[in-house]
A and B are shown apart, each in its own frame.
Chain A
């Protein structure tokens, strides 16, 4: 714990993103006003004691919308990280443990997936199944797969050369056992750091996809969808786009700070290199 305190950006980042996460979770059981509570009579209200951030074009309370929208954004980004790590990490580990054809195949596959930016995947899935939050999860998740595969392979390759892995091999362990018993625990910190970064990228990506109508759909709400709702009105009522936009910026900055801080705390050597070492 004392170690963590020496990294102020980690503390700040974790606290701020934790705060938003808690607000998001609270929205499951309580929001100041119900999300579906449409009341045209009180629309476009400015900030007040009753409505801290005012109300939107349908008279819905902005604080409630932000709380619930944050939850969607977090869930979408987190599930996308789950897909990316769940598929990518085993692929990367396999590439490092087996080498040869397996490694070649994993690298080519990740090159290939890189040719499909999340938005193109989202376009294809939306054409197939229609728009929904699941599209965004899949599209961002698929985009995350090669990222985690590369990080896992890179980390595992450097561990693989260490003596204890050679000892394990002498003891008769196969590739599977080495990958999961020895390589995986040692790259866990790398994966967690990358996960934090992908979580913040995922929140940005969800916002973009929902904004153009390929992601979360009403009546559910997300930070991106709030910006989509504000699109036709923001020139007249700027606060409708300011509040959700600022929420996104704060969450993403917080997650990035937490990610940078985690990396420095876990592996001080990376800090000296200047810090881009993880992704390459």
Chain B
């Protein structure tokens, strides 16, 4: 088990290192000089050269890459030259919108999707099953941001229950902050719940045909008991994998949905950074997204091994 965990951690570190290198060199290709940008067009060449030296831009690219990575390991993502603030602070502030949004959406998707999937599997071939699967098929096809627009139209404009957009910070009014996240998280959750319902149904239908369910039935359990005690647990394995992958895309998807509801999350920060060509901020924000994606997959891998001992490869026994 230790070996397994160590190997996965190593893989995680290598992925992040390579990702950092890809991002760094891609953005380094760009023409334009940050020092020139900061000082403006009237700067003398001497001043620009001085600032370049001060910012460490004279060093070769690979050296700057390692300085960047080393800094990030210590929580220093560099200084944004358009916003005049540490990149880590700017991103950290936005994560207070993006992360709760993603987690809330995932929670809704799980609470809605899994029971629907179980229900459909238990009523396989019946009207209820067909109904749930038609819903899921449609849910997968609906762009989450468009669903967000429809939700805003219904709940914010017509019914006036919830705000159509904007955000009050958690420290100011936690209840208002929460209310601002309800519609966006519902919008994000719809396709996720649909995918989860489908995967859960398929996994459970698979499991229902297995021998251990028959054994449990032979022991005198009803089908419902057998499926609940043994089936669902086993069916959760494939669901877990999908959950990990989906969470990764959910984090990325928040960027799009934030746009519908004018939420000051990571997405808004990135778009501002792109339009102002603040490369230090762009690379900081993208690496944070990639860390979120990769870390989720790592956690799922480890959870998987915890749930299913057969998968702890490298185990000598």
CA distance A116 to B293 in the complex (A): 8
Taking a contact as CB atoms under 8 Å apart, the answer to whether B248 and A117 are in contact is yes
Q: Which B residues between 138 and 187 are near A, CB-CB below 8 angstroms? A: 138, 140-146, 149-150, 152-153, 156-157, 164
Q: How far is the CB of A237 from chain B (nearest CB, A)?
A: 11
| A126 contact set on B, CB distance < 8 A | 274
Taking a contact as CB atoms under 8 Å apart, the answer to whether B143 and A212 are in contact is no
Given the known interface contacts A112-B15, A117-B293, A235-B157, the answer about A249 and B141 at a Cβ–Cβ threshold of 8 Å is yes
Taking a contact as CB atoms under 8 Å apart, the answer to whether A274 and B274 are in contact is no
| A112 contact set on B, CB distance < 8 A | 15, 18-19
Given the known interface contacts A234-B153, A245-B149, the answer about A120 and B286 at a Cβ–Cβ threshold of 8 Å is yes
Taking a contact as CB atoms under 8 Å apart, the answer to whether B282 and A127 are in contact is yes
| A123 contact set on B, CB distance < 8 A | 270, 274, 282, 286
A47 contacts B by Cβ under 8 Å: no
Taking a contact as CB atoms under 8 Å apart, the answer to whether B143 and A208 are in contact is yes
A71 contacts B by Cβ under 8 Å: no
Q: How far is the CB of A270 from chain B (nearest CB, A)?
A: 11
Taking a contact as CB atoms under 8 Å apart, the answer to whether A115 and B15 are in contact is yes
B259 contacts A by Cβ under 8 Å: yes
A148 contacts B by Cβ under 8 Å: no
Q: What is the chain B residue whose CB lies nearest that of A251?
A: B141
Q: How far is the CB of A207 from chain B (nearest CB, A)?
A: 5
Number of interface residues of B (CB under 8 A): 55
Which of B29, B138, B141, B202 is close to A128, meaning CB atoms less than 8 Å apart? B29
| A115 contact set on B, CB distance < 8 A | 15, 19, 290, 293-294, 297
CA distance A112 to B153 in the complex (A): 40
Taking a contact as CB atoms under 8 Å apart, the answer to whether A213 and B271 are in contact is yes
Q: What is the chain A residue whose CB lies nearest that of B290?
A: A115
B79 contacts A by Cβ under 8 Å: no
Q: How far is the CB of B20 from chain A (nearest CB, A)?
A: 11
**Most chain A C-beta atoms within 10 Å of own C-beta, residue among B26, B141, B205:** B141
Taking a contact as CB atoms under 8 Å apart, the answer to whether B149 and A234 are in contact is yes
Looking at chain B's contact residues, the main secondary structure is helix
Given the known interface contacts A235-B157, A256-B141, the answer about A119 and B27 at a Cβ–Cβ threshold of 8 Å is no
Which of A124, A211, A248, A273 is close to B206, meaning CB atoms less than 8 Å apart? A273
CA distance A9 to B5 in the complex (A): 45
Taking a contact as CB atoms under 8 Å apart, the answer to whether B202 and A276 are in contact is yes
Stretch of B49-57, B98-106, B224-232, B249-257 at the chain-chain interface: B249-257
CA distance A280 to B144 in the complex (A): 24
Which of A124, A238, A252 is close to B26, meaning CB atoms less than 8 Å apart? A124
CA distance A224 to B260 in the complex (A): 13
B69 contacts A by Cβ under 8 Å: no
Number of interface residues of A (CB under 8 A): 41
A275 contacts B by Cβ under 8 Å: yes
CA distance A118 to B143 in the complex (A): 15
Given the known interface contacts A212-B255, A238-B153, A249-B138, the answer about A275 and B145 at a Cβ–Cβ threshold of 8 Å is no
Q: What is the chain B residue whose CB lies nearest that of A9?
A: B137
Given contacts A118-B252, A119-B256, A238-B153, 15 further A-B contacts (CB under 8 A): A111-B11, A111-B15, A120-B289, A124-B26, A124-B282, A208-B143, A227-B145, A234-B149, A235-B157, A241-B149, A245-B150, A249-B143, A253-B138, A256-B140, A273-B202
Interface string of B12-44 (1 = CB under 8 A from A): 000100110001001101100000000000000
Q: How far is the CB of A3 from chain B (nearest CB, A)?
A: 23
CA distance A279 to B24 in the complex (A): 32
Q: How far is the CB of A149 from chain B (nearest CB, A)?
A: 16
| B249 contact set on A, CB distance < 8 A | 117
| B199 contact set on A, CB distance < 8 A | 276
Q: How far is the CB of B190 from chain A (nearest CB, A)?
A: 12
| A231 contact set on B, CB distance < 8 A | 149, 259-260
What 7 pairs across the A-B complex have the smallest Cβ distances? A252-B141, A274-B202, A117-B252, A245-B146, A253-B141, A119-B252, A208-B256
CA distance A111 to B144 in the complex (A): 26
B263 contacts A by Cβ under 8 Å: no
A200 contacts B by Cβ under 8 Å: yes
Q: How far is the CB of B24 from chain A (nearest CB, A)?
A: 11
B279 contacts A by Cβ under 8 Å: yes
B267 contacts A by Cβ under 8 Å: yes
A134 contacts B by Cβ under 8 Å: no
CA distance A122 to B146 in the complex (A): 20
CA distance A200 to B294 in the complex (A): 25
Taking a contact as CB atoms under 8 Å apart, the answer to whether B145 and A256 are in contact is no
Interface string of A100-115 (1 = CB under 8 A from B): 0000000000011011
Q: Which A residues between 131 and 155 are near B, CB-CB below 8 angstroms? A: none
| B274 contact set on A, CB distance < 8 A | 123, 126-127
Given the known interface contacts A117-B248, A231-B260, A248-B146, the answer about A124 and B137 at a Cβ–Cβ threshold of 8 Å is no
Q: How far is the CB of A235 from chain B (nearest CB, A)?
A: 5
Taking a contact as CB atoms under 8 Å apart, the answer to whether A127 and B30 are in contact is yes
CA distance A116 to B205 in the complex (A): 32
